[in-house]
Chain A
């Protein structure tokens, strides 16, 4: 599965630079859902045999060091460069990246406002960033069908995941579950990938992260930040805000900070240092 091209060259630049700072490394990896997923997979893989699941890059950098994390990112980014890539034909890559980043940032900001333990806040970001990861292999492997699914959603005015089921017989939650399994993503991140369109069915323990990501997803759609192929999303269950203990009005104040974070990311990605 290919990393988003917008970040690959930046990853190479940052990781090849011996003077790269930890914060630059954290940023460049955090900006690419595919790369972030892979790096977390490697960190949590049997390779290191760490006792606890690491869901934040900041922690990974402190535990394993800048060099190790740099190597992980570099090798995954380089692998991508040489792997065949058909491109993201149904959903524009830049739009997808912006959508994923928006959901990640929004989830993090909501978590912070809710007073979530700082050590768990990065997990909200990772879960938001990765929630739609299932769309990437579908788009890679089933490119033509995926174009039909996206246009069906548009024509029939239905949520994309329902159109995916109609056209392809499976949706991006199912594909996402396979990615999560292959990447050994567990817990909240995996649940956000699998259940973000099935909140009512969810009975697991990570409902706070899941609901927050769903709110982030709703917000990204409503504000039209980025594009994930889902022009007609389903409504959020009415009790989501109540259960999270937040007012819907909270979202009004998020647009500024979210756009600011995305702008920061853009500047970081595009301006050579």
Chain B
């Protein structure tokens, strides 16, 4: 079986309360299963309940031994780590992998320093689990047991990786946090800082980078794509924030001939009612025109890619 379960799909900050019961209020965390193999993507607040679930279901079969792939180190993607119960259990083995924006500190410091007395009553040194950290980049990895992974740099204010997991010819692809690459150089000759060369090169570079993302998503069975905003919100005031609109996510998945799209990284201000309304609206827009299945990611839902 090849499956994905969502433990957190909210962007930016957990949003508990009566308005976020249906789609969930925890920040990013995905559980991917490839038969006996478990892989986790992101350690947002959703990882707390995933940890508790693993304690109930997996621990009886032996110590937890898994990889956690971090998309990037913004807080909403790592904040749940100190509450991931398996780190306190002797015998647990974790390999935490992710990108680090160019700076002096390591992945271990950036994520692990949340476990220091100023933030938390337990220090990283005191954890019972054996944890290895590895800074990764754009590459392809053989995760063993027939599961492989390709990572791809996305467009976000800090270095951020999308992950494409492949198992028995099926694929699950994450494309968050991400907004389409765009030419950040002035293209209007009337602009005082206009530079023809930079404008041209910028257009070309943005186009080519977007093509690479398209290729990365190509033919995916399940795509989890950043969709924090409507197109109107995006163009209104959110350009350059590193997130996509619903329209962008749907077009990207359609162009890449993906089969199923989960709109992910819900804006913290979006209520269940609004998300439901938007889901119906976009399903209506694409219905009948493409084979692509479009839906809002729902916390707690499992999506079977191959049974």
Residues of A near any B CB (own CB < 8 A): 21-24, 26, 42, 46-51, 56, 58-59, 61-68, 71-72, 75, 108, 112, 118-119, 121-122
Given contacts A22-B184, A23-B198, A119-B205, could you give 19 more A-B pairs where the C-beta distance is less than 8 Å?
A23-B186, A23-B193, A23-B195, A26-B198, A47-B102, A48-B137, A56-B201, A56-B205, A59-B205, A63-B153, A63-B181, A65-B156, A67-B158, A68-B101, A71-B103, A72-B102, A118-B197, A119-B201, A122-B201
Beta-carbon contact of B201 and A121 below 8 Å: yes
CB neighbours (8 Å) of B202 from chain A are 22, 58, 62
- B21 interfacial by beta-carbon distance below 8 Å: no
Q: Report the bound CA distance from A23 to B191 in whole Å.
A: 11
Beta-carbon contact of A68 and B159 below 8 Å: yes
Q: Report the bound CA distance from A23 to B202 in whole Å.
A: 10
Beta-carbon contact of A62 and B205 below 8 Å: yes
Known contacts A23-B195, A47-B102, A63 near B205 by CB under 8 Å = yes
Beta-carbon contact of A121 and B197 below 8 Å: yes
Q: A24, A51, A118: which contacts B138 (Cβ < 8 A)?
A: A51
- B16 interfacial by beta-carbon distance below 8 Å: no
CB neighbours (8 Å) of B139 from chain A are 49
- Count of chain B residues near A, Cβ 8 A: 29
- B155 interfacial by beta-carbon distance below 8 Å: yes
Q: Which residue of the partner chain B has the closest CB to A125?
A: B197
Known contacts A49-B137, A51-B138, A71-B102, A62 near B197 by CB under 8 Å = no
Q: Could you tell me the distance in whole angstroms from the C-beta of B164 to the nearest C-beta in chain A?
A: 15
Q: Report the bound CA distance from A56 to B193 in whole Å.
A: 18
Q: Which residue of the partner chain B has the closest CB to A24?
A: B193
Q: Could you tell me the distance in whole angstroms from the C-beta of B177 to the nearest C-beta in chain A?
A: 12
Beta-carbon contact of B197 and A122 below 8 Å: yes
* Closest A-B pairs by Cβ, 10 of them: A49-B137, A59-B205, A22-B184, A58-B201, A62-B205, A118-B200, A23-B193, A58-B198, A71-B102, A119-B204
Q: Mark B194-213, 1 if CB is under 8 A from A, else 0.
A: 01011011101110010000
Interface SS, A side: helix
Residues of B near any A CB (own CB < 8 A): 101-103, 137-139, 153, 155-159, 181-186, 193, 195, 197-198, 200-202, 204-206, 209
Q: A51, A59, A65: which contacts B157 (Cβ < 8 A)?
A: A65
**Can you list 19 A-B pairs, Cβ within 8 angstroms, ordered by A?**
A22-B202, A23-B193, A23-B195, A23-B198, A26-B185, A58-B197, A62-B181, A63-B153, A67-B157, A67-B158, A68-B101, A71-B102, A71-B103, A72-B102, A75-B103, A112-B197, A118-B201, A118-B204, A122-B201
Q: Report the bound CA distance from A56 to B181 in whole Å.
A: 16
CB neighbours (8 Å) of A50 from chain B are 137-138, 153
Q: Report the bound CA distance from A66 to B184 in whole Å.
A: 9
Q: A56, A62, A64, A108: which contacts B206 (Cβ < 8 A)?
A: A62
Q: Report the bound CA distance from A63 to B201 in whole Å.
A: 12
Beta-carbon contact of B102 and A23 below 8 Å: no
Q: Report the bound CA distance from A2 to B198 in whole Å.
A: 27
Q: Report the bound CA distance from A170 to B185 in whole Å.
A: 42
Q: Report the bound CA distance from A121 to B204 in whole Å.
A: 12
Q: Could you tell me the distance in whole angstroms from the C-beta of B16 to the nearest C-beta in chain A?
A: 31
Q: Report the bound CA distance from A72 to B202 in whole Å.
A: 20
CB neighbours (8 Å) of B186 from chain A are 23
Q: Which residue of the partner chain B has the closest CB to A268?
A: B193
Known contacts A23-B195, A62-B209, A68 near B158 by CB under 8 Å = yes
CB neighbours (8 Å) of A71 from chain B are 101-103
